[in-house]
Amino acid sequence: MRNWITVRVAGRGRLVAVGAALLALALLVAAFSLPNLLRGLNHPTAMGREVLFQGTWGGGDGQLGRYQGADGKVHGPQSLALAPSGWVYVLDTYNRRVAVFDASGKPLRTINLPKGNVEGYNLPAFPDDIAVDGKGHVYLADNRNLAIIVFDTAGKYLGLLRVTPPGEVKGDGKTDFYGRLENLYAAADGVYTDEFWINGEEAFRLIRRYPVPGAGGWAGTAQTVLQATFSLGLKGPSLTGGAAGFTSSYMDGDRFYLEGPVSDAAPSNRAVTVADTDGHRRRVVTVAGSTSLAGAALLGVARDGRLYFGAGLTHGEGQLIIAEATGHVERTYSVGGANFEAVHPARLRPNGDVYLLTGTAEGVQLTRLVAQKSLRFSGKTLGDQGP
């Protein structure tokens, strides 16, 4: 009996030891998997497509304009802006106006550009970019006249702001600088421009802040926030200010995200420099994991820190690339298709929704791409074989 009890107790001890080992293993697996599971709660696994507006090409009510350029390509609206109110402002470049839609895609009104000789400028122009501030003021980047055109919340023309060269202007008013406004951003403390200038063998990329118009019009002078210099005889940019060389930009609140190639040896890797509006560089994120990044431009940064890139969005079929805040590419989506003549401007809301215009020979659509969410376990999406 004593021997039987001894064996029984010893066997129970082995069972307890095995059970403890299994419990420790389960806790270890849970500790490894839970962060990945939580990390994937908001992982976008698909992009749902919602058509907000569908219209035809033309110059009438409810239509948007297009034209064939000297390059032989068909061009449509050049840009769009997403207001905090939820409204969508489409820069109808060819018709020299702005088409305003509510959040559901219902056309609300149009803002027509002034015509004739306005403050010494030949208008209407062909504006290239649009921005809307929190009060509803509308700003247009006019590269023909190198000026910013501003309208009030009701669409009334308020005035023009001349964009001056960053270098010396001669006595006859001429300069050796050739400039272009690449991007336009509206914030509470001013209007920010992403400018590209060429002077002989050098090229400058500038972020400048212009004062917002008050009751008496424009006041104050422009302030350079960031500057990068490119030598046209070399392939790469050299740092001369608070930001590395960049080819596209995005502004969100008090942060700038400046995107450019890491090096010629790795064209598929992009560097995103994060800087504040005073020109202080905060960090640099290297984005890698997709060959499509070689021709991509930064669309924006979502509230959760994910970076959105667009590649080939001005052609019949492009790609939307989403990277984590750490720079690792999560997913790549095809946008457009064989039936699309062109994918026009795209914009990102902080929640991750992407707004874009897609066009065919028959008409145009204002589309919202909504990120579909699902759980992800150990780095893989349940029911999804994508990367």
User: Is the pLDDT assigned to residue 30 strictly greater than 70?
Assistant: no
Residue 43 has pLDDT above 70, yes or no: no
- Give the H/E segment covering residue 330: strand 329-336
- pLDDT at position 141: 92
Average pLDDT over every residue of 340-346: 71
* Tokens standing for residue 23: 């419990």
Q: How far is CA 294 from CA 73, 150, 259, 260, 265, in A?
A: 22, 35, 12, 10, 11
C-alpha to C-alpha distance for 192 and 207, rounded to whole angstroms? 7
pLDDT beyond 60 at 67 = yes
DSSP states along 201-225: TEEEEEEEEEPPPBTTB--S--EEE
Distance CA 147, CA 213 (A): 14
Residues 6+ apart with CB under 8 A from 35: none
Cis peptide before 124 (omega within 30 of 0): yes
* Dist. CA 175–CA 221, nearest whole Å: 19
Looking at 41-50, 59-68, 264-273, 282-291, which range is the least confident one?
41-50
**Spatial distance between the Cα atoms of 146 and 139, rounded to a whole number of angstroms:** 13
Q: Minimal CA–CA distance to 98: which of 135, 64, 48?
A: 64
Give percent of the chain above pLDDT 90: 17
Residues with Cβ < 8 Å from 190, sequence gap 6 or more?
A: 209, 210, 211, 212
SS3 (DSSP) at 289: coil
Residue 320: DSSP 8-state: E
Average pLDDT of 348-373?
83
Q: Which helix (H) or strand (E) covers residue 336, if one does?
A: strand 329-336
